[in-house]
A and B are shown apart, each in its own frame.
Chain A
Amino acid sequence: MSAVTLDAELELSWWGRKTRESLLFSTINGIIRNPQGMVAIIGLVLLVVGAVGAPVIAQYDPVDQGAAGRFLAPSTDHWFGTDELRRDLFSRTLFGLRASLAVSLISVAVGTSIGVTIGFLAGFIGGLLEAAAMRLVDALLAFPGLIAALAILNILGPGVRSIGIAIAFFTIPAFARLARAQMLAEKNKDYVLASQALGASPQRVVFRHIAINAFPPLLTQMALLMAVAVLITAALSFLGLGDNPPAPSLGGLLNVSRQYLREAWWYAVFPGAVFALLLFSLNLLSDAINEASSPYQRRR
């Protein structure tokens, strides 16, 4: 089997030793060199550290109502102030961010795996399966994600789990379409034929060789869909369809903050700023990955 791998790498090497490590490396390198990409990475690192480290960083329990008073303005004790139930808003924002990121990440990952598998299979096998799968994908892609999400919430009932399923569901067609296109572009290249000729199994050809070369566009799409997922998660929690109180979420915080704009501006402003930073970073990141992985698509 090692002969097969070697063969694939030789085929790739004529355009500058692009083995799979260096392909990933050059993409990452391109993102970091791009100022937009750097801003995105700094923003995301900050937010992810905040979300992952929430239990350590936050000085207060996000659901504890024992703080000093209602609607305390931001201070050194309570960086983001406190809310109507005397809870610390900095803690609630961090834990809300954590929840929103977790739902988005898990559901996009699930949707991506299913979508990419469908797309690769459709592209690799072709025929009736491909036609049927792609018509279905077209039909699903024709509708905005939120309409599909509302339909799924109607079937499963409101809640975080339903939101996750809804996001995974609308992630599938976008990835199936892209993965199929990648597969069609790659499957007749010489390195694929070579590894097939050497007796590599179809699974090995698809997942060891083609998947690796089809990787960068899928990564771009993932960053973009993470932004969409974060947005839809927040929108649905904002509408009051996703929370299990008292656990916080970014959308839920914004929804409640609306009623107290007169008393506590910080209630809306800080969670809103964190949410905006998250969306900005994800959008910038997908732009940066796109430019880094396809240099010829750089802006004119």
Chain B
Amino acid sequence: MLAYVFARFLQAIPVLVLASIAVFLMLRLVPGDPAELLAGQDATEEDVVRIRGQLGLNDSLPEQYFGWLADVFQGDLGVSFARGLPVSRMLRTAIPPTVELAVAAYLVAVVVGIPLGILGGIRPRSGWDWTLSGFTLVAIGIPGFLLGIIMLWIFSVRLDWFPVFGAVSILDDPVDSLRHLALPAIATGVGVAAVLARYTRTTIAEVMGNDYVRTARAKGLAESRVVVRHALRNSMIPVVTVMALQVGGLLVGAVIVEQVFTRPGLGRLVVNAIQARDYLVVQSTLIILVTVFIGANLAADIAYGFLDPRVRGR
């Protein structure tokens, strides 16, 4: 098992390296002199020269890349020219609200998606199954930000049940934080819930047709025990993988939904940065998103190995 985990980690490294090279080259691909771009429009000639020195733009590209990588690993992501703050500090304030939203959305997705998928899968073509089909059709068809606007209109503006904008840290005031979090979390999570429900339904329906399920029933086991002990265990393997793979999509969804509810976070940070052409901030946000994404894929692989002993041998 340890060897398997180790091998998977090793396989993730080239992907990370490739991604980091892509992110590094991004700034060099912008038409124009990177130093002038980073200094901003109001910069003096000295600023440009100073930044050129900082970035090591006079070195060869490989030297620049490794220098940049060393800085990143030390937590030095540069200084935002638009705001004059260290990028790492901006990220430290932007990450927690986004993580709170993503985690809450993930809970929504799992709590709604998996039970619905199980109910639909146990009895195909039953009422639950039709509910499931309707739900997935609507949830996949309506993107998170549109759903967010609809909910904002109904629940915050008309009914006044939830605040219209902003975020409160869960550490400061848990109740108020949840009130701010509820609608964005549903808007972000419902699409993922639909994907999970679809997968769970398919795998459960498949497993329920297997001989060992028939055997379990023939032994006289209660249906609930057949489902929980026999069918669920085997059908959850691909579902867990899909759950891990959805983390990236969830994060991206959160970034957009933040805009609907005017929540501070990575989404606001990256959108403002792109508009202000604040390259270093965009670059750093993308590194974080990409790393989380690769990490989630890695976690999916490892979880698969844990749950299904047959995978490890390969």
B23 at the interface (CB under 8 A from A): yes
Bound together, the chains give a CA A158 to CA B272 distance in angstroms of 11
B256 at the interface (CB under 8 A from A): yes
Q: Are A275 and B141 in contact (CB under 8 A)?
A: no
Q: Are A268 and B153 in contact (CB under 8 A)?
A: yes
B277 at the interface (CB under 8 A from A): yes
Q: Are B146 and A261 in contact (CB under 8 A)?
A: no
Q: Are B141 and A254 in contact (CB under 8 A)?
A: no
**With A144-B252, A155-B26 as given contacts, are A268 and B271 in contact (CB-CB < 8 Å)?**
no
Cβ < 8 Å to A, chain B residues 244-283: 248-249, 252, 255-256, 259-260, 267, 270-271, 274-275, 277, 279, 282-283
B241 at the interface (CB under 8 A from A): no
| Chain A residue, CB-CB nearest to B256 | A235
| Residues in A neighbouring B256, C-beta threshold 8 A | 146, 235, 238-239
**With A241-B274, A241-B275, A272-B150 as given contacts, are A139 and B18 in contact (CB-CB < 8 Å)?**
yes
We find that the number of chain B residues with CB closer than 8 angstroms to chain A is: 44
Contact with A along B279-294 (1 / 0, CB 8 A): 1001101100110011
| Residues in B neighbouring A262, C-beta threshold 8 A | 157
B10 at the interface (CB under 8 A from A): no
| Residues in A neighbouring B26, C-beta threshold 8 A | 151, 154-155
B81 at the interface (CB under 8 A from A): no
Q: Are B290 and A254 in contact (CB under 8 A)?
A: no
Cβ < 8 Å to A, chain B residues 200-258: 248-249, 252, 255-256
**With A144-B249, A239-B271 as given contacts, are A154 and B289 in contact (CB-CB < 8 Å)?**
no
B29 at the interface (CB under 8 A from A): yes
Bound together, the chains give a CA A262 to CA B157 distance in angstroms of 6
Taking the closest CB of chain B, its distance from the CB of A100, in whole angstroms, is 13
Besides A144-B248, A146-B255, A154-B286, 19 other CB < 8 A contacts? Answer: A139-B18, A139-B19, A143-B290, A144-B249, A144-B293, A150-B286, A151-B282, A151-B286, A154-B282, A155-B29, A158-B274, A238-B145, A238-B256, A239-B271, A254-B146, A258-B152, A261-B149, A262-B157, A268-B149
Q: List 9 A-B contacts (CB under 8 A).
A: A139-B15, A144-B293, A146-B255, A151-B22, A154-B282, A154-B283, A238-B145, A254-B146, A258-B260
B residues with a Cβ closer than 8 A to A are 15, 18-19, 22-23, 26, 29-30, 137, 140-143, 145-146, 149-150, 152-153, 156-157, 248-249, 252, 255-256, 259-260, 267, 270-271, 274-275, 277, 279, 282-283, 285-286, 289-290, 293-294, 297
A residues with a Cβ closer than 8 A to B are 139, 142-144, 146-147, 150-151, 153-155, 157-158, 231, 234-235, 238-241, 254-255, 257-258, 261-262, 265, 268-269, 272, 275-276, 279-280, 283
